[in-house]
Structure 1
Amino acid sequence: MTTQDSSRAILEHVGGAANVAALHHCSTRLRFTLADESRADEAALKATPGVIGVVTGTQTQVIVGSGVADYFREIEKLRSGGTGTRAGARVEAAKPKPTLKRAGAVTMDFVVGVFTPIIPAVAGAGIFKSFLILAVALGWLQTTDQTYQVLTAIPDAVFFFLPLLVTYTAAKKLDTNIPLALGIVGLLVFPTFAGLLTQEGGVALFGLTVPAIAYNAQVFPPILAVLLLAVVERLARRISPSVISTFLVPLICFIVVAPATIFLLGPLGFFLGTLLTGAMLWLYGTLGWIAVALMAAALPFIVSVGMHKAFIPPTVATMASAGRESFYLVASLAHNLAEAGSSLAIAVRTKNKTLRGTAISSGISAFFGITEPALYGVTLQNRRAIVSVVIGAFVGGAYLGIAAISAFALVSPGAASISMFIDMANPWNLLHAVIGALVAMVTSFIVSLVIWKDSDSATVRLLEQQSGASVPAPDAAGGVVAPMTGEIVALGAVDDPVFSGGILGPGIAIRPADGEVRAPISGVVSSLLPSRHALGILGDDGLEVLVHVGLDTVRLEGAPFIAHVEQGDRVEAGQRVLTADLAAIEAAGLDITTPVVVLNGDAYDVAPLATGRVAAGDALLAIDAKETANGIA
């Protein structure tokens, strides 16, 4: 069956062109957003020649391998009325059926897309201000000094213009006109408008009193304004003659959205922000230290399923309005240090050298506020380890809650960011934060030291099985080397069913420490999409290896990636092929775990050679061609 025939069959088995609301593709898979998922025939899709696998969920993903671009073009041709369909206009798809699952996924995606990109600015500003507070506390600066006043204006400006930062990310997420959105929301922080609101007697528009609200540092009014703008702009473009749409569309948007923001959306957003902030303060005020302790103990499980992202909006709102936060960030400090204590104790107790190395590096990372290596590499995989983390986090969180600690910067708490707890009005705040962090770490360390057993560790059993296997040593022609430096992650543990299920083929994954990507084998670059997030290489002996930097990073449209080669180029193993901005990927809320997969694995025996930490160029996978009754497969 040709690609054209398979494409026609795929389109038919997803319910036809009328059932396709949207179609995108990444390096190996077609991503269908369907109006009615029940019309997709998963069994028929899997049986279609050329289809490697199918994953269902909020999208129906059809995995077709490195030829995905050809399938995409053929299906788009069919959807547009080309070969195999009646000629004419593009087939219009019905809108996807609204479901609670889809609504929840869309809402969470929107929240992450709006708030995650602004965290670096807010975190940097908070830490910057904490250093200024420290300088004043040490007597290096005085609050009356002009130097201090100029320097403190830098972080203050970030929070003052927070509505504009949120406007930018929301407009980008909703694909609406960014300058227009900034122009409308800019009214809320425009000094002249703010002055009118605060003057004696207030101000009225068309005889209606304008609510007097200070919108600086607010996050929800701009979100509501941009949501309305996205709708109004689309409607305005439909009704505006093209010859005058350049000025008519923005004019309509200003006339409709600006007054609505002044009278309705601004006050409503302010109320929502106050409500969320009040809810967190109520929870803390009602349960006190128990709330912090329970949150700290629950965080390993909350983070593991990604639900910690739901705490970003209220935490940002609380920090922006009150200048401090006493619940989520404080609980995070206890959890992070508890992860460090458990990992370091395991490093002391375990007899497995590979696990010891992983636990040491993970523990150090968690100590400085980066818990993912410890969480996914050590504690979640081992029952006794996670028990020690929960106990340590609860005890540390209880101390921090009783001491009424507050954070003053929105950043992952740890030794590297401990200055976020500096309080000029309360020097004890920092001291209690340090003590509470140590309580969490020491408690977790002791508990883990006492209860840990290698014999009860799933990680140790897996490592021993791997080390006991008869694995051939790699050579220049038959081995795959590590394309990046970082921590090894079993492919089955990757948070993507396409990779973890082995649908694309066997392999391994790396959680990279830096963004340099090097060729895992010598050969020709067989695939390199415009998004530059994944690269396939066809080896001289027919082996085809895919390096996919991060998970779902096709959504970033190539922004954090630089390609140093082009499709069709000849590369040698170890040659630099891509550079990825890992910080930008994580800031977008995406996982940087990088699968390395043998796409034609059916023809080869593939065996992992590395565990723990690996350096770029180290032996990663041993490859042997399979033999059949007729010779080599």
Structure 2
Amino acid sequence: MKYEQLAKDIIENVGGAENVNSVVHCITRLRFKLKDESKANTEVLNNMEGVVTTRKSGGQYQVVIGNHVPDVYKAVVSEGGFQAAQPVDAEGGEEKGSLFNRFIDMISGIFTPILSVLVAAGMTKGFTALFVAIGWLDIEGGTYQILNAIGDGLFYFLPILLGYTAMKKFGGTPFLGSVIAMALVYPALEGIPGANEPLYTLFAGTMFESPVYIEFLGIPVILMTYSMSVIPIIVAAFFAAKLERSLTKIIPDVIKTFVVPMLTMLIITPLTFIVVGPIATWASQLLGQATIWVYDLSPVIAGAFLGGLWLVFVMFGLHWGLVPIAINNFAVGGIDPILALIFVHSFALAAAILAIWIKTKNEKTKSLSAPALISALFGVTEPGMYGITLPLKRPFIFTLISSAIGGVLLGIFGTKGYVMAGLGVFQVPSFIHPEEGLNGAFFGAIIALVVGSVLAFVLTYFFGGINKNEDTGAGSTQPVAVKGAQNGKDQVIGSPFNGTVKKLADIDDTAFASGALGQGVAIEPAEGKVVSPVSGTISVLFPTNHAIGITSDDGAEILIHVGMDTVQLDGKHFTAHTEQGSHVEKGQLLIEFDGQAIKEAGYPLTTPVVVTNQDQFEISTINEQEVKAQDILIELKVK
């Protein structure tokens, strides 16, 4: 990790991890809440390479870093084992937004490190199925067996990879998460239900009837299939990381290296089997019973329910409660409506990915979209769901909506499956009636496919927010890469609002006053509107809307920070009129703020306007005077 040593040095000199109540970051600095500020070695920190300065304000111990603060923050969280905050606030870093958004951010963050191999495996799995379908491969042959192992192996052992990435995200030891996951997918345990008679059955005669094949210390263990699952290992990793940190504090150093991981595994792994297994199993059974009840009530409602939520069921592993019902339907009556109602979901996902592929400006997203699209068409949805649509949120929601509408149409047309088939394009032949052939129900499935796909494409393309904060995820403060930023030209920077110019050195913030964060001026604003001082791209917009970074079309990187310590207002009194990644014209309204309310809250409105890539320019600023918005404020000449 690039900033690993810097992070270690910072933690050590703020009094160690045990002295930290919380740490968050704003646009330029780490903001620690320390148990005892007297333990912080301010002199060492001030002289540390990579640290601009330190500052104490508002009950926070601030370590000023500059433009690289998001990367340093990640390293500090990782090295200190702290709970990671997402977009930070002034009260301790709890991520804002709905529970749904926070859940999606967590899931997508855990999957990000494995996206490339996930997509590659999905492509391999999809093409292998295609080659079998068109007769190029025999499922009994060795070529198929090896290709299937390559494509399917990652998905089967997915919990092992997720154990690593989840533990890393939650601040635990990554390999410990993988070892816990290995126990969950241990083949011998998965084979027990088919090998012996159950010891006894819990809740016999109810929908929660569960055979028990093994016990742990006399406690019944209800086994489920953890291979290809997602949520169980993430839950296990979350609690494992917390337990590991607690044990680290109390276990003596001389035995800590092996005793902490041993105790963590011995406690968390059995608890996962004993608690997560039953919950997931019963939830799956309940879902299966509920689906049959809803279908008997109305195929249309069942179509909306199953079609709209199938991807969510897959995410939680609940779909395993429906697959046995479908298999039984085929075995008993040769016909099944359950899996037929989910037919549209993979095509809706593929259409949403296609819209993203066409519209995205993010090269990484574009490169991942093509193989994820192909995988989705072949019924392998994980790469597109976890890697493309889920992180962007809206496309994922639009996929669910479109799949639900497709499910409604399938219910209206009475579409059913007559053979057990794969998903995606491989499911189409299953709708051919054995006697009637291509009947109305079959064409109804095609209509549902077209409607769901077109709807998903249109909604995602026009309303998916595809390029909104896409480079770093919604709400991120990581700067957007802007072409030309390293090739500056002579240019002038206008004033972002009416006000009075003062010297940067005279303001009450040593980080800005020293010029370490950039050369420029400060302004006492006379009105509550910030306009763009140049034509360029919004490279940073902090979630609290109090600070904004702009990269001009000619390569200057400009930071406007409204007020002093106004991050602690947590966005109150600020309204943004642009978004990160947007191109703006000079004079365009960027932010509005209530200056009077901010002053009454006790925060100065003095606003630094600085050029952060000052090493590329000779910078001239105007003297202290009154200015109007767009008046020349700073002149730049390329060195």
Range of TM-score over shorter length: 0.3 to 0.5
TM norm structure 1: 0.45
